[in-house]
């Protein structure tokens, strides 16, 4: 049996895991060290090698392959990193460098792709929609991203951007987005965008958790307006994905994905918008929490 080795690389910390593949995989070792991205690229790659050495010592095993979750993506054309918020990685051949340093093949995927894969292989999709062939995993938090899994494998796309629905335009005259366009999905209902909208209509600064609670308690018309706008916009935005991909399941991660109204009102809005008279695609709440990143990284070699 081949063990699965994964590392989830973040800006401040990195986490490594070794899984014994099984119906419910067994965690053999799980370790976390600082990534120190502020100290530069060579420091980060050095820390990755250090973490692998620590995992070897802790487990008595040696990796044959490594999966890595990264903040941005590996550009399929240039084989260098792009769109990383840990900016020291951008423009660097991270995959080739780690392969050279460790002497084993490495696969990379961004956090949304790792999330989608982890929930498919080991999380809510496995438990509640076990025959799913196409899964769309969505992260709706500070930003809005997405990843596509087909037959238990990440579908990266020609340019490495498959699933990036967060920068589809939703409103022509909408809020400006950091990507340079206006009215992107992300600029409309990421966590910070929802909080900004609430402040705009109410004049008050309230965080998303409180907005959601105010809506549920029914005592704040501004909160209800914010959540109703979210479910309506979500239905429209996700319908474009469903019309093209027609997935078996959509997993909604991140702080915004936790809002219950998405699974009721949001689903109804989706029904109104898709090109079909019913919706069989299921909306699921993720199960793995913060562990999705590292489980997804390990899962990148799961079919081997
Ligand atoms: Zn954008």
Mean pLDDT of 109-125: 96
- Helix-helix angle 94-102:41-59, to 10 degrees: 40
- For 251: left if phi > 0, alpha if psi spans -120 to 50, otherwise beta; the answer is beta
The residues whose Cβ lies within 5 A of ligand 1, an ion, are 167, 177, 179, 184
Burial class (CB in 10 A: 0-12, 13-18, 19+), 269: buried
Q: Ligand 1 centre from 169 Cα, in Å?
A: 8
- 162 and 100 within one domain: no
Burial class (CB in 10 A: 0-12, 13-18, 19+), 237: buried
Does some domain include residue 120?
no
Report pLDDT for 1: 59
**304 vs 232, residue with greater confidence:** 232
Q: Ligand 1 centre from 218 Cα, in Å?
A: 32
Q: Ligand 1 centre from 157 Cα, in Å?
A: 19
- 63 and 192 within one domain: no
- 147 and 219 within one domain: yes
Domain residues for 11? 4-110+290-299
- Tell me the backbone φ, ψ of residue 68, rounded to 5 degrees: -130, 130
- 231 and 196 within one domain: yes
Q: How far apart are CA 128 and CA 151, in angstroms?
A: 16
State how far Cα 75 lies from the chain centre: 18
Report pLDDT for 209: 96
Q: Ligand 1 centre from 166 Cα, in Å?
A: 7
Q: Ligand 1 centre from 126 Cα, in Å?
A: 32
Q: Ligand 1 centre from 74 Cα, in Å?
A: 19
Looking up residue 61, the CATH number of its domain turns out to be 3.30.420.40
Q: Ligand 1 centre from 208 Cα, in Å?
A: 21
Q: Ligand 1 centre from 165 Cα, in Å?
A: 9
- 143 and 177 within one domain: yes
Beta strands in the chain (DSSP E): 4-9, 13-20, 26-34, 66-70, 73-74, 81-82, 106-110, 134-140, 144-150, 153-155, 249-253, 282-284
- Rounded to two decimals, the pTM is 0.95
- 80 and 152 within one domain: no
Q: Ligand 1 centre from 280 Cα, in Å?
A: 29
- 239 and 153 within one domain: yes
pLDDT band at 303 (very low <50, low <70, confident <90, very high): confident
pLDDT band at 85 (very low <50, low <70, confident <90, very high): confident
């Amino acid at each position: 049996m081949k063990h699965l080795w994964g590392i989830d690389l973040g800006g401040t910390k990195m986490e490594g895991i070794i899984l014994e593949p099984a119906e419910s995989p067994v965690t053999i070792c799980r370790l976390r060290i600082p990534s120190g991205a502020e100290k530069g690229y060579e420091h980060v790659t050095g820390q990755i090698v250090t973490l692998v050495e620590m995992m070897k010592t802790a487990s008595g095993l040696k990796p044959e392959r490594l999966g890595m979750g990264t903040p941005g993506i590996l550009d399929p054309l240039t084989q260098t990193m792009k769109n990383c918020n840990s900016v020291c990685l951008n423009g660097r051949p991270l995959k080739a460098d780690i392969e050279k340093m460790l002497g084993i093949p490495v696969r990379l995927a961004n956090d949304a792709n790792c999330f989608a894969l982890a929930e498919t292989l080991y999380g809510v999709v496995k438990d509640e929609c076990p025959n799913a062939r196409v899964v769309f995993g969505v992260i709706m938090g500070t930003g809005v991203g997405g990843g596509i899994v087909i037959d238990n494998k990440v579908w990266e796309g020609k340019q490495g951007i498959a699933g990036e629905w967060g920068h589809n335009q939703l409103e022509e005259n909408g809020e400006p987005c950091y990507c340079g366009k206006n009215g992107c999905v992300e600029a409309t209902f990421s966590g910070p965008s929802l909080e900004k909208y609430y402040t705009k209509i109410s004049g008050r600064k309230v965080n998303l958790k409180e907005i959601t609670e105010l809506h549920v308690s029914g005592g704040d018309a501004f909160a209800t307006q914010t959540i109703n706008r979210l479910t309506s916009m979500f239905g429209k935005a996700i319908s474009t994905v469903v019309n093209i991909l027609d997935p078996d399941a959509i997993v909604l991660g991140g702080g915004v994905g936790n809002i219950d109204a998405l699974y009721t009102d949001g689903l109804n809005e989706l029904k109104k918008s898709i090109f079909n008279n019913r919706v069989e695609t299921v909306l699921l709440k993720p199960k793995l929490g913060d562990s999705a990143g590292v489980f997804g990284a390990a899962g990148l070699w799961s079919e081997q």
